[in-house]
Amino acid sequence: MLGVFGLVFFESVSIIHVGVVIVSLRIVYVKKYKQIFKMPKIGSSLSSKIKTWISNYPELKFDGKSVFCASCEKSVGCERKSQIDAHCNTGKKQYFYLRIRHQFFIIIFSLAIHENQLKLKKNKPIQQQITDSFETSNSQNQFHIDLCQALVGANIPFFKLQSPPFRSFLQKYTNKSIPDESTLRKKYLQVCFDSTMVKIRQKIGEHYIYIMVDETTDARGLYICNLLVGILHQEIDSTPFLIACKVLPKTNYDTVSRFINDNLMNFFLQNSEYQYKVLLLVTDAAPYMIKTEQALKTFYPNMIHVTCVAHGLNRVLEKVREIFPEVNKLVNNGKKILLKSPHRVGIYKNIMECELPPEPVITRWGTWLEAALFYAENFNKFKMFINALDEDVQNIKKLKRVITSASIISDLTFIKSHLSTFPQALTQLETRNLSLNKQIEIFETIGESLKKINNEKGQFMAHKFNSVVEKNTGYALTKKPKHTQHKIGRAHV
């Protein structure tokens, strides 16, 4: 401690010495200035008094003729003692002394902190301090990365971290500092994404792959395109990985083909060998998807394009709605009269004594057929329910006309007899990790059942089924050669 103060004192003395030299030079300059103007010499008796007056003010200097203030750098009147006292006791002087005092205490406090740090460095090696700091920072960063991955994997929004109960719970049982949602989003989300991409590349390795592309519309009406990649191998799980999701300005073969090619190049890090390992492209049967395959064939020569067989079966079911217009009216109006009407729902439950009929949604495959099968099973009770409604509503009037039509019972009987297996088959085709052979077996069974229907309506549906198969050129290639099936193995066709 004394050594440190000695060092500071020596440096302070040096600074004061320089200041004294500067002040001396100023005094010499003032002397010469006064000699030029022949300032009168002050008497010896007054001179001794002035020296006594300025003895308490070290910043004042007396050269025998005038008094000079080093802090203000100007001369001070010295005819009376009150002049000197008034000058030294002004606000400026007091501020000067306070500032000097404040700086002095800052120096003392800094020296104390410095000495304390020196003691800590002596007791703990520098390398150990750096290692401990790095380990603490690395541990904290790893916790933030794991927290970010857990929230994303569990589909928990980041803003949930701002909830005081959830935040205090995490702090209590982890003893970690919980980051802000913006910190996770800005610093760690990209890290988690990059590490996930690396894991997917490691799992795919050198295997042959298939790609799946699907376009959908979100709640804002934007076109969202998704790209998935999976392994083609008989003994390896073929669960696909989502590697890209992008908003497209419009959906056509140009934007979709660019989206596929660009994201595959980024995923495989510009390695051109992957182009020969893409063996299968799975999309829906939209016309622009067919044209997309033709545009990509140049870059991926071994690729076979297969349209989704579940989507093809749904197109056959859409034909069923056209063939049976009375059943379609029954399904649509039956949904409308029970929508937002608690009174009718109460009457329905008293008469039907069963659950509400399935609500058909066009974008949910097979829901229309499920509703039609429900009405076929419960037609008589549903007819009693409609007749019990005496409201003057247009939808109820339509239903009363439909249930009295001559063809409605025969149409529902036909659907129940020949199409009751369609919803289950559609659900199986949508199941994950279903082998290619199993999917082909289910799809072919549906086709064979349609060919056995010996009437005009059955022929319409069988013709639609054959049309879907003919347009799916890749389906025929996966069905015939055994070596192709061996390469493809398991895939979501």
CATH code, domain with 227: 3.30.420.10
Residue 167 above 80 pLDDT?
yes
Residues of the chain above pLDDT 70, percent? 77
Do the beta carbons of residue 402 and residue 382 sit within 8 Å?
A: no
Judgement on whether residues 248 and 333 belong to the same structural domain of the protein: no
Instruction: Say if residue 296 is in the same domain as residue 319.
Output: no
With contact defined as beta carbons under 8 Å apart, do 114 and 4 qualify?
A: yes
Q: Are 318 and 298 in a shared domain?
A: no
107 CB-near residues (< 8 Å, 6+ apart): 8
Domain contains 62: yes
Domain co-membership, 204 together with 304: yes
pLDDT higher at 94 or 391 = 391
Residue 110 lies in a domain: no
Beta bridge partners of 490: 435
Give the pLDDT score at 373.
92
* 467: amino acid identity, one letter: S
What integer pLDDT is reported at residue 286 of this predicted model?
86
Same domain for 70 and 20: yes
DSSP secondary-structure letter at 43? Answer: P
91-100, 164-173, 264-273, 447-456, range with the lowest pLDDT: 91-100
Residue 367 lies in a domain: yes
Q: Do 192 and 203 lie in a common domain?
A: no
In a domain, 476, yes or no: no
Query: What's the pLDDT at 96?
Result: 57
Residue 341 included in any domain: yes
Residue 56 belongs to some domain of the structure: yes
Band (pLDDT 50/70/90 cuts) for residue 104 is low
Domain end residue (candidates: 397, 418, 439): 418
Say whether both 300 and 259 belong to one domain.
yes
Percent of the chain residues topping a pLDDT of 90: 16
467 in a structural domain = no
Strand pairing category for 67-69 and 74-76: antiparallel
Q: What is the pLDDT of residue 41?
A: 47
317: closest CA among 361, 347, 279, 273? 361
Kindly state the average pLDDT of the residues 67-90. 73
Task: Show which of 170, 197, 224 is a domain's final residue.
Answer: 197
Residue 397, pLDDT > 80, answer yes
Which residue matches tokens 């990209």?
190
Residue 115 pLDDT > 60, yes or no? yes
Number of domains in the chain: 4
27 and 43 in a single domain? The answer is yes
| End position of a domain, from candidates 262, 284, 308 | 308
Q: Pick the range with the lowest mean pLDDT from 15-29, 211-225, 258-272, 461-475.
A: 15-29
Average pLDDT, the chain: 78
Helix ranges (H only) for 89-163 are 91-123, 126-153
**What is the domain range of residue 240?**
199-308
Confidence of residue 473 (pLDDT cuts 50, 70, 90): confident
Percentages helix, strand, coil for the chain (3-state, rounded to 5) are 65, 10, 25
321 residue type, one letter? R
Residue whose pair of structure tokens reads 């003692």 in the numeric block? 81
The verdict on 100 and 7 lying in the same domain is yes
Tell me: do 216 and 304 sit in the same domain. yes
Q: Are residues 191 and 210 in the same domain?
A: no
Please report the pLDDT score of residue 474 as a whole number.
85
pLDDT tens by residue, 414-452: 998 888 888 888 888 888 777 778 888 888 888 888 888
The verdict on 193 and 203 lying in the same domain is no
Q: Is residue 96 part of a domain?
A: yes
Is the pTM for the entire model greater than 0.85? no
pLDDT of residue 247: 93
Angle ∠(118,10,25) on CA atoms, nearest 5 = 145
Which residues, including other chains, have CB under 8 Å from residue 300's CB and lie 6 or more apart? 275, 276, 278, 281
- The lowest-confidence range among 21-35, 84-98, 163-177, 313-327 is 21-35
How would residue 117 be classed by pLDDT, with cut points 50, 70 and 90? low
Q: Is pLDDT above 90 for 229?
A: yes
Tell me what pLDDT residue 140 has.
59
Which of the pair, 26 or 417, is modelled with greater confidence? 417
Mean pLDDT of 26-36: 47
Tell me which of 53-67, 137-151, 449-463 is least confident. 53-67
Highest mean pLDDT: which range of 5-14, 308-317, 426-435: 308-317
